[in-house]
Amino acid sequence: MGGCFSKPKPVEVKVELSLLEKEKELDGLSPNGKASPFADSRPNGALGHGSDDDATPLPVYNKPRDYVEASVCHVKDLENGQMREVDLGSGRALLIKEHGEFSAMGHKCPHYGAPLVKGVLSKGHVRCPWHGACFNIATGDIEDFPGLDSLPTFQVRVEKDKVIIRANKQALQTQKRSKAMARCSAVINSSTGFSHVLILGSGQSGLVCAETLRQEGFTDRIVMCTMDKHPPYDRPKLSKSLDSTAEQLRLRSMDFLQDHDIELLTEKEAVAIDVKTRTVTFEDGLKMEYRKLFIATGSRPRPLNYKGKDVRNVFHLRTPEDANSIARLANNKNAVIVGTSFIGMEVAAALTDKAHSISVIGIETLPFKKALGEKVGKVIMKLFEANRVKFYMLNEVSEMIGHHGQLKEVVLKSGKVLRADVCVIGAGCVPATGFLKQSGIHMDARGFITVNKMMQTSVDGVFAGGDVVTFPFPPRHNKKVNIPHWQMAHVHGRVAALSMMGRPAEVKTVPYFWSAMFGKTIRYAGFGDGFDDVIIQGDLEELRFVAFYTRGEEVVAVASMNYDPIVSRVAEVLGSGKTIKKRDVEMLTRLGKTGDISWLIDKGSQ
């Protein structure tokens, strides 16, 4: 897969100097020698600033009883380019053979536990079959997102034609590890209104930015402020698992953040930024100065125009508490969902085993029509209808009617009246950038912050990422686009952190997202905005298909259901800078070679 960052020149870093203070003296990273989305990141544990004492030490296991050693196969059992999940007695590992060399690492993706043996092995890394995360087979380091953690690696040797793995027992059980991080060496009182790096937002973009700074050796103060009252949690699961608590969704605990000197201030809403004095003002009156600022405030619900906005039990799904309330109020009651894109449809699916009735209102003729096309939208609509969901398409909400203040009816513009005890509005979002209007930070007509390839805004020292930005997208000739995906937010956070440290980096990853409904998952990779044709392989009615989205003569995106790992394979090809031609897909479709991914190996032309 093509590297995310251009290859730097070696540099000498003076231990006593802060990276942010001396960022102009740095022009790159120490390469790890691997082509990857983060090809120029340091190997795990190497720090750009600070002594060895600054790093959070990795566990050291010296006692023989901490390890297990096992012969797992014959040397000829694996061909080049093959992987096998092997049992060591105390746990399982992924054995890999590439270019005649064996390597071994954790067998589960740390993100959601996908079996990596079913993923894609290419050019020194394994790509997860479920959501596209990549892991270096030599180091186990995460090289493309989603996810925060890396994999443990294990020693492999060959004796008398037997492949032997030696592994730490604890690592076999945990199947993940965090990269080493520097600690803060700056002597600053926690009540001081100054931070070397101030991050607005605790979603994946903000969290990855903070962790990347520490992983790359940054030893000054980092403060992350959020409107949420919880530590960072897995937001995509809110609409898929309505009963989950903030604790169950948690990505990083307060203890973890404190251990790595990442200060988190909860329930803090930024209301103004003065870029001249480099000061952020919060709603509660707190003012905080910064040297570098990262804006990752995400999005807010698109406002709808209807009567009865004071009626209770109408939700925009924003927090775990919202999700829990929706699940509780819908139990054996009537639920109405406004919006037929991913959040609305996932909530509808999640409520089918709880609610008495579910009504979905959409302004299009079909759900997912804009994102997935008419053919896919039709079969998904049938799936929902088979699960008791009633659709009211080409419609909008006119009024919410309550009784004693609580929702009882939703009136549509068509005149139809729906019984409703709870309503969830998932009708799109707008960037949460209203507080920036007087800041001088450039935004486009829709309110998105415009950034360059290094996530730098129009103002020096101010960076932005995630849902709030439009950024140059290389596959579209650096046209500025907004891609509000969880995975993309990770990438933005990392690029911004490296850019803050004076290490020029840019986004070169393949957008990847997923949606889960009724135990089935749609996987999607690429950027299909403006697609003009869809080529379907497989059986749509059986919900076992691959959809190739094309613009002109090129494939720009792919979606699948029950055809893993083809989406990850396509992501691998597109990520390497190659192209997939429409005519090739059409030819294989005519030949009935649905799901055959062998043709994608080494496929494409520059």
- Torsion from C-alpha of 308, 310, 316, 318, nearest 10 degrees: 170
Q: Looking at this protein, which amino acid is placed at residue 458?
A: S
pLDDT band at 26 (very low <50, low <70, confident <90, very high): very low
Bridge partners of residue 470, in order along the sequence = 450
H or E segment and range at residue 379 = helix 374-385
Q: Is the pLDDT reported for residue 45 higher than 80?
A: no
Give the pLDDT of residue 402: 96
What is the full DSSP assignment across 438-495?
Answer: TT---B-TTSPEE--TTSB-SSTTEEE-GGGEEEEEGGGTTEEE----HHHHHHHHHH
| Pick from 13-27, 295-309, 425-439, 578-592: least confident | 13-27
Distance CA 100, CA 505 (A): 33
Give the pLDDT of residue 1: 40
Contact 297, 404 (CB under 8 A): no
pLDDT band at 39 (very low <50, low <70, confident <90, very high): very low
Across residues 128-157, what is the average pLDDT?
A: 96
Give the pLDDT of residue 299: 95
Rounded to two decimals, the pTM is 0.87
Q: Hey, CA dihedral for 94, 98, 102, 103, is it positive or negative?
A: negative
Using a pLDDT cut of 70, give the percent of the chain over it: 88
Give the pLDDT of residue 62: 57
Contact 210, 226 (CB under 8 A): no
Q: Is the pLDDT reported for residue 170 higher than 80?
A: yes
| Pick from 24-38, 205-219, 247-261, 494-508: least confident | 24-38
Across residues 53-63, what is the average pLDDT?
A: 46
Give the pLDDT of residue 21: 38
pLDDT band at 597 (very low <50, low <70, confident <90, very high): low
pLDDT band at 41 (very low <50, low <70, confident <90, very high): very low
Distance CA 170, CA 352 (A): 40
Rg of the chain taking only CA atoms, in angstroms: 25
Give the pLDDT of residue 13: 30
| Nearest by Cα to 297 from 70, 178, 457, 176 | 457
Residues 535-575: tens digit of each pLDDT: 999 999 999 999 999 999 999 999 999 999 999 999 999 99
Contact 286, 268 (CB under 8 A): yes
Residue 447: other Cβ atoms inside 10 A: 15
Residues 486-503: tens digit of each pLDDT: 999 999 999 999 999 999
Distance CA 151, CA 377 (A): 37
Distance CA 240, CA 347 (A): 6
Across residues 195-218, what is the average pLDDT?
A: 97
252's CB contacts (< 8 A; 6+ apart) are: 148, 207, 231, 232
Give the pLDDT of residue 508: 84
* Cis omega (within 30 of 0) for bond into 472: no
The better pLDDT of the pair 22, 182 is held by 182
| Pick from 105-119, 182-196, 326-340, 404-418: least confident | 182-196
Q: What's the chain's average pLDDT? A: 88
Q: Is 545 left (phi over 0), alpha (psi -120 to 50) or beta?
A: beta
Give the pLDDT of residue 140: 97
Across residues 135-148, what is the average pLDDT?
A: 96
Using a pLDDT cut of 90, give the percent of the chain over it: 82
Across residues 132-141, what is the average pLDDT?
A: 97
Give the pLDDT of residue 596: 66
How far, in Å, are 97, 99, 336, 515, 568 from residue 58 at the CA level?
27, 29, 50, 35, 31
Bridge partners of residue 573, in order along the sequence = none
Q: Is 353 exposed, middle or buried (0-12, 13-18, 19+ CB in 10 A)?
A: exposed
Give the pLDDT of residue 588: 84
Distance CA 359, CA 411 (A): 12
Residues 70-101: tens digit of each pLDDT: 999 999 999 999 999 999 999 999 999 999 99
Residues 352-396: tens digit of each pLDDT: 999 999 999 999 999 999 999 999 999 999 999 999 999 999 999
Across residues 107-132, what is the average pLDDT?
A: 96
Contact 158, 166 (CB under 8 A): no
What is the full DSSP assignment across 94-135?
Answer: EEEEETTEEEEE-SB-TTT--BGGGSEEETTEEE-TTT--EE
Residues 33, 110, 213: CA angle, nearest 5 degrees = 55
Bridge partners of residue 555, in order along the sequence = 550
pLDDT band at 57 (very low <50, low <70, confident <90, very high): very low
Give the pLDDT of residue 277: 97
Q: At what angle do helices 374-385 and 342-351 cross, to 10 degrees?
A: 20
Residue 356: other Cβ atoms inside 10 A: 14
Question: What's the token pair of residue 189?
Answer: 């009182």
Q: Is the pLDDT reported for residue 133 higher than 90?
A: yes
* Cis omega (within 30 of 0) for bond into 8: no
